[in-house]
Every structure is written in structure tokens, then in C-alpha cells.
Amino acid sequence: MHGGIFLKIFLVLTAITLLLDWYVYSGLRTFTKDWPSRRRRKYVLRGYLVASVGVTALFLLGLSSFRTAKGMTPLHEWVLSFFLVFFITKIFFSLILLIGDAGRLFYGIGDNIVNYGKKSNALFFPARRKFVSEIAILVAAVPFTGLLYGMFKGKYDFRLHKETFYFDDLPEAFDRFTITQISDIHSGSFDNADAVQRGIDLAKSQKSDLYVFTGDLVNNAAWEIEPYIEMFKQLKCFVVDENVEIEKNGQKISLIGVQNWGRGFIKIGDLNKALKGVDKDSFKILLSHDPTHWEEKVRYHPTKIHLTLAGHTHGAQFGVEAGKLRWSPVQYRYLDWAGPMEQNGRNLYVNRGFGFLAYSGRLGIWPEVTVITLKKKAA
């Protein structure tokens, strides 16, 4: 069912991108029309068609294997990513061209109304001006270079995020206790073992008291992690289903884990089952992959969960985070898509993800290693 839906979506995208190719080609013809070298003009125009239509053809060839149990290999993700790069670039180019053509349309209509009957053999629309195509190229170059940067550099540009949470009822022994969180490894997408090791080294170097993992180790099948399993073993991460107690200097906190529960997604995690045997008054940390579990269930649960660690959203692997400016297309799907959130003493932290999926890149929302510090709030 889902495979058929995705196939229809991709075929519609293919039809749209071919229409965009025709429109962009017309803009490039305007851009090159006064070039003295016909050979250079031909190389540019034909080169564009070969590159753009060629990427679309490769994308279509890979569609059938996208729907197999094996899923998308790194090669398929590269092809999909180049398709997205060209598709988004063409949209930006076409929008600028469309604004210019709309201006031509309105000017032509106005001019013909004002000069009705006064002109003979005159074009209804004025010719497209070269500078419009030049602006379109400059604007389109931004997403084109940015998305390529995300593919060749950004997806392994690991960033360290540090967050401190304060609690009245944190056991004294756990004051300044540190937790390193990684999430959304998606090992089936990796194509550079040395780069992956850099991310693991960053996590190891934090020397935290506890390492935890919050879901999506692979894309589709367990064998995807096999080339990297010895590398990730270095972190000795806790992966909890139900609950365990962590003891320090005679005091304890409860570490609780559930399988996935997500709004509009898989709902098999059972928080009540995971809480069985846990002291209601204990300090509790929950590992739950999807942040909508916190939004819908955890923050309203009669048993207080002090801190929930989640992932899943990837921050869409694309967006802007600069000071107070935070934007990602994923925010239209998830209320809490990256970083901390708090309500009534119940805290959430959403990790942006270690790996990547589908788009073989990251731009603006970089791969993350999180270090959480627990502190006892001063009396």
C-alpha cells in the first residue's frame, strides 16, 4: 500500500521535473542567446538537459528497488539526493523566471490596451530580458550549492550539543551526572566509515557517566549495522526496554525505555508496562524514540517522568538554527522537533540524529551528539 503511494508521488514529481526542465531550458536559451560562440551555447544547453534528464532517468530506474524489503542502499540515496538537488534548484530558477514572465504578461496586456490599433506586426509580449535569467541563475545557485555541501560535507559534520536540566528532587549523588545521547544512527545510509568513527570519537571523548541510544539503529534490516557494530560497541550505550535502576553512592534513579509510540506512526510502546515495579516517587528518565509520545502521553501521565530523551525527527536534516531563529520544514509536522522542552516539571530533549535517511546529506541541521547534565536545583 505504502509502496504504491510513494510510487505515485515519485511519478508525479517526475512529471513536474520534466515540465520544469522545459521551462528552465527556455530561461537558459535567453541567457545564452547573445553569446558569440554557438558551440559554447550548445554545450551549455545540451549539458543541462543531459545532466538533469539523466538524473531523473536514474531516479526512475531506482524506484523499483526502493520498494523492496532491502530498501534504499547508499547508492539509491545518492541518486535520490541528486534528483532532489536538481528538483529544488529548478523550482527556485523557475519562480524567478515566472515573476519576470508575469511582468511581461501584465506589461503586454497594458501596452496593447493603451496602444490598441496603433501597432502593426508587434509582439503581444515583450521579449524576455536576459537579466531575469541572470537573477534566476544566481538565486538557484544558493540551494544547488547548499544541498551539495550537505551531501559531501554536512552529513558528517558532527556537532556537540550540551544541555543542563535542574531538578528539585534529583538525588544528591546524581548532581552533575552526565548522559551522552545518540539517536537515529540509520547505519544503512552510511558510506564513509572513517567519518562515522569521528562521530563516535566525539561521543567517547565526553567521558559521560552514562551513554544512551534512542532508536533507529538501521533503516530496514539488522544486517545494515554489521560493518559498524564494533565501532558503536565502543560507546557501551544503554538500550532499555521497560526499566533498570542506576545506583550511585547508595542512591538510585530509574532508567525506563519503551518501544516506538508515535502520533500517526507505530504505536507499540507501553509506558504503563515499562513503569511496572518502578517506585512512583523515584527520579525517572525515559528513553522514547518519538517526541510525540511525550506530547500525547508522557507529560500528562499520572506518574511523573522527570526527563524524556527522544529523537526521530532528524530536524528534517535541513533548516536554520541561528540564535533565536529556528526553522525547519519538520516543524509543520512536529511541535517539538529539536532541543529542550518543559511542561510542569516534565522535561523533553529531542536529539537531531546521528545519521541521515533518504536525502544523503544535512544542511543547517547537523548530525548531533548530545551531552545532558543533571543538576540539583539550589534550595
Per residue in 34-81, pLDDT tens? 999 999 999 999 999 999 999 999 988 877 666 555 677 898 899 999
Lowest mean pLDDT among 98-107, 129-138, 148-157, 212-221: 98-107
Q: Could you give the residue ranges of the DSSP H alpha helices within the chain?
A: 2-32, 38-66, 74-114, 130-152, 193-204, 229-233, 271-274, 291-296
Q: How many residues does the chain have?
A: 379
CATH code: domain of residue 197 = 3.60.21.10
- In this structure, the answer to whether residues 164 and 305 fall within a common structural domain is yes
Residue 222 structural domain: 154-376
**What would the pLDDT profile of 221-236 be if each residue is shown by its tens digit?**
889 999 999 999 999 8
The per-residue DSSP string of 322-372 comes to: ETTEEE-GGGGT-SS-SEEEEETTEEEEE---SS--SSS--BSS--EEEEE
Closest CA to 335 of 353, 318, 310: 310
Please indicate, yes or no, whether residues 248 and 343 belong to a single structural domain of this protein. Answer: yes
Both 165 and 300 in one domain: the answer is yes
pLDDT in tens, 330-374: 999 999 999 999 998 999 999 999 999 999 999 999 999 999 999
Amino acid at 378: A
Measured CA to CA, the distance from residue 16 to residue 12 in angstroms comes to: 6
Residues 116 and 180 in one domain: no
The H-assigned helical ranges of 33-73 are 38-66
Per-residue confidence band for 121, with pLDDT thresholds at 50, 70 and 90: low
pLDDT at position 116 is 66
Other residues' Cβ atoms within 10 Å of the Cβ of residue 11: 12
d(CA 258, CA 274): 6
Contact present, 146 and 346 (Cβ < 8 Å): no
Number of domains the chain is built from: 2
213, β-bridge pairs: 182
Domain termination residue (choose one: 120, 152, 184)? 152
Which of 119, 152, 185 is at the close of a domain?
152
Looking at the structure, do residues 58 and 137 belong to the same domain, yes or no? yes
Integer Cα distance of 193 and 186 in angstroms? 13
pTM recorded for the entire structure: 0.89
Amino acid identity, residue 173? A
C-alpha to C-alpha distance for 153 and 276, rounded to whole angstroms: 45
Cα-Cα-Cα-Cα torsion 204, 208, 211, 214, nearest 10 degrees, comes to -100
Backbone angles phi, psi at 105, to 5 degrees: -60, -50
Pair (171, 190) in one structural domain = yes
User: Mean pLDDT across the stretch 193-201?
Assistant: 97
∠ CA 317-322-323 to the nearest 5 degrees?
135
In this structure, the number of other CB atoms found within 10 A of the CB of residue 274 comes to 21
Asked if 316 and 347 sit in the same domain, the reply is yes
Of 127, 152, 177, the last residue of a domain is 152
Closest CA to 215 of 270, 266, 286, 289: 289
What integer pLDDT is reported at residue 207 of this predicted model?
96
